[in-house]
Amino acid sequence: RRTLAAAILDGRWEQAERTLDKLAVENDQGATLANLIERIVRGVERGGRQWTSARRKESLQRVLNGSHGDAGVLQIRLTQLLGSWDQDGADSVHAPPEAEPAQAATVQAAGPTATPDKAASPAPAAAGNLAATIAEQGKNESTWARAVASLGASLHKALAAAGADEQAAALAAMTAEIAAQGATPEHADALLLQSQGIDRALQHRHHLVEQLGGLCRELTEGLGDMVEDESWTKGQLEAMRLKLDEGINARGIKSASELLRQTRVRQRELREERGRARDALKSLMNQMLQEMGELGARTGSFHDSIGRYAQAIDGAESLEGLTGVVGEMLDETRSVQELVGQTQQRLQTEHSRASELAARVTTLESELRRLSDEVTTDQLTRIANRRGLLQAFEVARARAEREATPLSIGLLDIDNFKRLNDELGHGAGDVALRALAEQVAKSLRPDDVVARYGGEEFVVLLPATPDDEAQQILTRLQRSLSGGLFMHERKTVLVTFSAGVTVYRVGEAIEPALERADEALYEAKRTGKNRTCVA
């Protein structure tokens, strides 16, 4: 075949004919190859607007060099190359003068419907180098085999999940197409995109497993803290069941984990308050018994004294003697009266304290029962909570669909929040949450919405805003925090956040959108934090 190529390119037609006859005998494809050679002879010297004679020879050389191992592949590629030459006159207006002949030829190998218009389309920047390399190497099958094998190995590492079968099928179809038609720059573009998608899916799968482990830990700790009254946790557990029923995903697991954590904290607070009330009641009872014992002993002594005073009065023979007995009796009476008054006051104080603690317990129990019906404002940050977010999303979604405008959804997560809590204390963490919520709320437009989704996560709704503009808005907000967010012990505390942005798709609930935003958020965390990525 190299001899045939050299003969054709040099115009040595007799040698080309002899070589063709030999190939026809070897491959039993004489008629087909003869027709191809005839078309090549006519076309290689006839230049066109885009395919000059020199460029036709160059592309022919590359096709021949890249197909020397398979006569069937050679025939297919020659046929498609000739097709692109034949279209030079009619369709060349679609191809830029700078189009590489090798690229155009190989794009034609993608299928009979390919045109120079598609061949001349610029490859994405991420795939440009690979496409050029593939073209320069003459469609080196071993290079593609390694690339496909690498993708196959990546897929084997993936867990069974929605979308995995689709990606595997797409990869298998691409492999079959490459094997049948040869590699093209378009295949390079598609393969790179496929590889990036698989890589992101695998990374997010690991993230999902980590979140699932966190949920299991919270369940282990939280279930041991549950108290005997089911009504105190009924709302939270029901909400968690609904969340998990939506499907195992990072958003649902993290939300359920946060719900359990909050429940455990509330239950611990209630248990401590009840313990203090119980101790106070025990102390009250002991104090009452002690006071009553002292009072009984004193009144018993007073009773004996009364009898003694009565005898003394009966035996008194003078006014002075009677006055002394009466005075002594009055002094002891006042002492007993004072003791009774003090005892009564102490009992009233202890009773008031126990009543206050009992009222506090009752309040906490009522609060736990109201958790599933709480208002739409987060108590710590004073912005919308998850319930408020869902209500705002319904309004924003209806507006976006009615006006046919984009609705961007951003998911924000404070960077290194656990370390901030560990180093400065949970009080500083609460201050950071309030300060960030205030800063975000001030920076957004009147129609925008910011809500605390749970823990250190916030969600922003940006109506009539495409994702690239939303990314710019959040990036500007990130830069505005570079001077520090709040003061702690006379020191400025720098707080940053990472964010993921996605665009609402018509008809979907907020959870799928947040799942995409979470993938972008994880990418932002993985690639350095304090940045915004788009999904």
Q: What CATH number is given for 386-534 in this structure?
A: 3.30.70.270
> Are residues 250 and 211 in contact, defined by beta-carbon separation less than 8 angstroms?
yes
Nearest to 21 by CA among 45, 39, 41, 3: 3
Q: Which residue in the list 456, 457, 515, 523 is annotated as catalytic?
A: 456
HSE-CB of 113 using CA atoms within 13 angstroms: 0
Where exactly are the structural domains of the chain? Answer: 1-121, 284-369, 386-534
Q: Write phi, then psi, for 459 (nearest 5 degrees).
A: -120, 135
Two domains, one topology: 284-369 and 386-534: no
DSSP letters spanning 9-38 = HHT-HHHHHHHHHHHHHHHT-HHHHHHHHH
pLDDT in tens, 283-297: 766 776 776 677 667
What string of H, E and C letters represents the secondary structure of 292-335?
Answer: HHHHHHHHHHHHHHHHHHHHHHHHCCCHHHHHHHHHHHHHHHHH
Token couple for 284? 């009250």
Q: How far apart are CA 97 and CA 89, in angstroms?
A: 13
Active-site residue flag, 456: yes
Count CB-CB contacts under 10 A for residue 176: 10
Q: Which residues of the chain have pLDDT under 50?
A: 90-139, 159, 372
Token couple for 8? 């054709």
Q: Write phi, then psi, for 378 (nearest 5 degrees).
A: -70, 130
pLDDT in tens, 156-189: 555 455 556 666 667 767 776 776 667 777 777 7
Tell me what pLDDT residue 216 has: 65
Coil vs helix vs strand at 496:
coil
Tell me what pLDDT residue 404 has: 94
Token couple for 378? 């987060």
Long-range contacts of 440-449 (CB under 8 A, 24+ apart): 440/412, 440/477, 441/383, 443/473, 443/476, 443/477, 443/480, 444/473, 449/384, 449/389, 449/392, 449/396
Tell me what pLDDT residue 380 has: 84
Q: How far apart are CA 331 and CA 290, in angstroms?
A: 24
> Are residues 420 and 496 in contact, defined by beta-carbon separation less than 8 angstroms?
no
Domain 284-369 belongs to what topology? Methane Monooxygenase Hydroxylase; Chain G, domain 1 (1.20.58)
Model pTM greater than 0.85? no
